[in-house]
Chain A
């Protein structure tokens, strides 16, 4: 039976506006009003207890590239990082553009996943950007959103129709904002550093122009577009202005975009190569401001594992992407809460009520009757990230060796402790 009593923690539950020291009770895998008599006690004195954290941008790579990561190893990374639910991206092989792949993912997750896996479906067939995927059927199969992430639908007409169609099923549309013509073969932010290093640039306007088109479509169709991993100041500004007007637009940010800049690429280390790329200090500031003033409602990782031999090549030949699940919480605490840009409850919102609201999930809360997905964390715990101990199959992180402050210490899914794993 999944019965727990989490004792004496500082409980932060933004959905219920709770921030107080008390106990949390779990009975039969759900949050309960009273403790179960045989409950296992988790001592949370001096720690913080929150609804299970949600990461709505993760690449689990299965089916198709299980050499990089599997649902099993990816969810273990999530559990280590304090995440109880992850939304997995559809750029698998085959793409998640058919009910069979969705069924496979859900079945694998059930069998070997240790956290909740919520699949996103593709917008277009093969994420090629040409024909709509069977979105209605995918919704019935259990997707929580549609996105072509990995790629971006270039045709505004297709994007418009996809949005209109998604509205019918109340599915949010998430977009990796990238204009392929402007970006072309760019490998790092177009700016002083790309010019100095002799590398092809990925200009900020390549993202901003698509953010702008998404805003206009969201306004026109009156349905929800969520802009993924914002990286530029211009994008933040566009989203802020549109939200003021009441447009159904939202945005997320990844920790690497608010802790690293394009200067990091000067050693030609492909562990600093991702899309969209690391940008300038003023972009980092704008993202932090956007998180602070609510323009950016969600933080996620864009956890993107790649085999070591794939990343240890010439910078321009390496695939884009880095790991993120295990360092996400610490980096967010350090950049936002420890720097006093956000209070801890405000940060918790970015991982709980923010994603839950966007995706209309019954998650991100400690209300009685809710699934007992709980994260116990120590915001002050100091530790050093050693990627050689990672649960991932891959090693592509720029944060190896970093001294971090803040860590999940216990991760609970449906009332079961999934991390740390008892041996």
Chain B
């Protein structure tokens, strides 16, 4: 298929074929990551800007490394260090970056819609690295890549997403991707954090953890999104861990080949029992290395969609 998007803003925008194409392209880059020289010149001379208005070390580093491996130049802009704190609007920040001839802007922002805001106003490629509670497309893509590597497919699998769904962009992107590729999605957690509305997207909503994971092939655990939540949503971390955490006892009753996934960073002892995070069926660290290949694929595909200059 022909990839024609210069931006990656939301999984919701993508056709299933486009999602599969990204995953297939990521295979190439996974192989590159296994060579001695882990670099290809595909984006040589291009400049990628990591515009991280909301802080993140893992995602930013992953994108940075992905860009380096494609031979692109990287500029990191973190909110506290930049003119954003001096009151410059997002629009002006972006126009300034475009004036510097950046080719790709990877944006993480605390406001839903921020990536689209940029993409609507800029000619360069815009990659959404997380906009508020809306979407985090590359996370869902690397989650899907991991599932496909381990299970051989996505269609027909039972995937349970457990935790704070309401404030989670990872949840939303995963819900869209998994339903588009034919998985059966169950959402579980406290009723204040898992609104029934998501049934309209084709998910099963469940407030009992045991029931939610009984038939799961994949259990994707989410962090409690402190920074996005209202204080009032549920009593305490301790209560969450007891009633909704993935304990060894609960995990023992799942399918023998069920996988444990987590976007990180994990809160050991809260959403997951500490030992489980390191067990054989946890693919959490593999998600990280897959993230690199997937982000290389996304950067390669989007940055390669440019208008062709007409020869004089």
A interacts with B:
yes
B111 located at the interface, meaning its Cβ lies under 8 Å from any Cβ of chain A in the complex: yes
Which residues from chain B contact A317 at a C-beta distance below 8 Å?
111
Q: Are A313 and B90 in contact (CB under 8 A)?
A: yes
In contact, A315 and B230 (Cβ under 8 angstroms): no
Contact B109 A198 (CB under 8 A): no
Mark out the residues of chain B between 1 and 35 whose CB falls within 8 Å of any chain A CB in the assembled complex: 12
Judge whether A192 is part of the interface by a CB distance below 8 angstroms: yes
- Contact at A316–B89, with CB atoms within 8 Å? no
Give which listed residue, A184, A195, A199, A314, contacts B198 with CB less than 8 A: A195
Contact partner of A185 (CB less than 8 A), chosen from B91, B113, B230, is: B230
A164-208: CB near B (< 8 Å → 1, else 0) gives: 000000000000000000001100000110011111000000000
What is the CA–CA distance of A191 and B109 in the complex, to the nearest angstrom? 23
Within 8 A of A (CB), among B74-91: 89-91
B197 & A314 in contact (Cβ 8 Å cutoff): no
Q: How many residues of A contact B (CB 8 A)?
A: 18
Alpha-carbon gap, A314 to B134, bound state (A):
13
A202: shortest Cβ distance to chain B, in Å? Answer: 13
B200 at the interface (CB under 8 A from A): yes
Contact A192 to B133, CB < 8 A, known contacts A314-B90, A316-B111? no
CB atoms of B91 and A312 under 8 A apart: yes
Q: Are B117 and A198 in contact (CB under 8 A)?
A: no
Closest to A186 in B: B230
**Total interface residues on B, using CB and 8 Å?**
26
When distances are taken between beta carbons in the complex, the residues of chain A under 8 Å from B90 are 313-314
CB contact list, B128-176 vs A, under 8 A: 131-135, 166-167, 169, 172
User: In this assembly, does A267 line the interface, its C-beta being within 8 Å of a C-beta of chain B?
Assistant: yes
Asked if B197 contacts A191 (CB within 8 A), the reply is yes
Q: Report whether A314 and B114 are in contact in the complex, using a CB–CB cutoff of 8 Å.
A: yes
Which of A184, A198, A267, A313 is B134 in contact with, Cβ under 8 Å? A198
Q: Nearest A residue to B109 by beta-carbon distance? A: A314
Nearest A residue to B197 via CB reads: A195
**A192→B109 contact, CB < 8 A:** no
Chain B nearest CB from A272 CB (Å) reads: 11
Shortest distance between the CB of B30 and any CB in chain A (Å): 30
User: What sequence of 0s and 1s flags, for each residue 95-136 of chain B, a beta carbon within 8 Å of any chain A beta carbon?
Assistant: 000000000000001011110110000000000000111110
Is B263 at the interface (CB under 8 A from chain A)? no
Among residues 188 to 231 in chain B, which have CB atoms less than 8 Å away from a CB atom of chain A? 195, 197-198, 200-201, 230
- Closest-by-CB residue of B relative to A195 is B197
**B131 closest partner in A (C-beta):** A198
Q: Considering the chains assembled together, what is the distance between the CA atoms of A184 and B134 in angstroms?
A: 19
Are A268 and B195 closer than 8 Å at their CB atoms? no
Q: Using an 8 Å CB-CB cutoff, how does the interface string of A311-330 with B read, 1 for contact, 0 for none?
A: 01111110000000000000
B91 & A199 in contact (Cβ 8 Å cutoff):
no
Pairwise interchain contact B197-A268, C-beta atoms closer than 8 A: no
Q: Which residue of A is nearest B200, CB measured?
A: A192
A198 near B230 (CB under 8 angstroms)?
no
> A312 — which chain B residues lie within 8 A by C-beta?
89, 91
Pairwise interchain contact A268-B135, C-beta atoms closer than 8 A: no
Q: What is the bound-complex CA distance between A47 and B71, given in angstroms?
A: 70
Q: Given A309-B89, A314-B111, decide whether A195 and B134 contact each other with a Cβ distance below 8 A.
A: no
Pairs across A and B, CB under 8 Å, 8 listed: A184-B230, A198-B134, A198-B167, A199-B132, A199-B134, A267-B116, A268-B117, A316-B132
Q: Which 10 A-B pairs have the closest CB atoms?
A: A268-B113, A198-B134, A198-B133, A314-B111, A198-B112, A195-B197, A315-B113, A316-B111, A199-B112, A314-B114
